[in-house]
């Protein structure tokens, strides 16, 4: 990895963290518990609960991604950043640009997903 690539990845991490902070804040605002006595009609209430379930899931995923990105931010200047934790080969730079929080190369990530 060249110093320029590392800087690019770092910029990407900072951008994504800022974006996620905003997204999480917005999601937290719309995923407040739905009051049982709210004046919505029954159908609207079911819809509201379904929507809340979807948003809750996105919120969980966003928080998890934020944690991973913050961890990537701590590791980005280290020598072993961008090295797969399983096979210890370099993770493709293209993959790191898209998912800077990646800790595995594509092959090992695929293997890991299958094992779950």
Interface ranges with Zn ion (CB under 5 A): 84, 86-87, 105, 108
Please name the residues in contact with 105: beta carbons below 8 A apart, sequence gap of 6 or more. Answer: 84, 86, 87, 89, 90, 91, 92, 95
Q: Give least dist CB 90 to Zn ion, A.
A: 9
Minimum Å gap between C-beta 12 and Zn ion is: 21
Comparison of 70 and 86: residue with beta carbon closer to Zn ion: 86
Indicate the residue among 9 and 108 with the shorter CB distance to Zn ion: 108
- E strand spans, 1-116: none
For the record, the structure tokens of 28 come out as: 């937290």
Q: Which is nearer to Zn ion, 7 or 110 (CB)?
A: 110
Q: CA geometry: angle at 21 spanning 4 and 52, to 5°?
A: 135
Q: How many helices (H) and strands (E) does the chain have?
A: 4, 0
Output 59 or 103, the one with its CB closest to Zn ion. 103
The nearest distance, CB 109 to Zn ion, in angstroms, is 8
Helix (H) or strand (E) holding 6: helix 3-30
Least distance from Zn ion to the Cβ atom of residue 104, Å: 5
């Amino acid at each position: 990895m060249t110093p320029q690539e590392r800087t690019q990845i770092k910029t990407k991490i900072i951008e994504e963290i800022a974006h996620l902070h905003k997204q999480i804040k917005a999601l937290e605002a719309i995923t407040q518990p739905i009051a049982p006595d709210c004046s919505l009609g029954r159908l609207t209430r079911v819809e509201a609960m379904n929507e809340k379930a979807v948003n809750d899931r996105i919120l969980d995923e966003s928080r998890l991604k934020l944690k991973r990105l913050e961890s990537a931010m701590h590791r980005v200047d280290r020598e072993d950043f961008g090295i797969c934790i399983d096979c210890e080969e370099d993770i493709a730079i293209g993959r790191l640009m898209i998912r800077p929080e990646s800790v595995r190369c594509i092959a090992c990530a695929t293997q890991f997903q299958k094992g779950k």
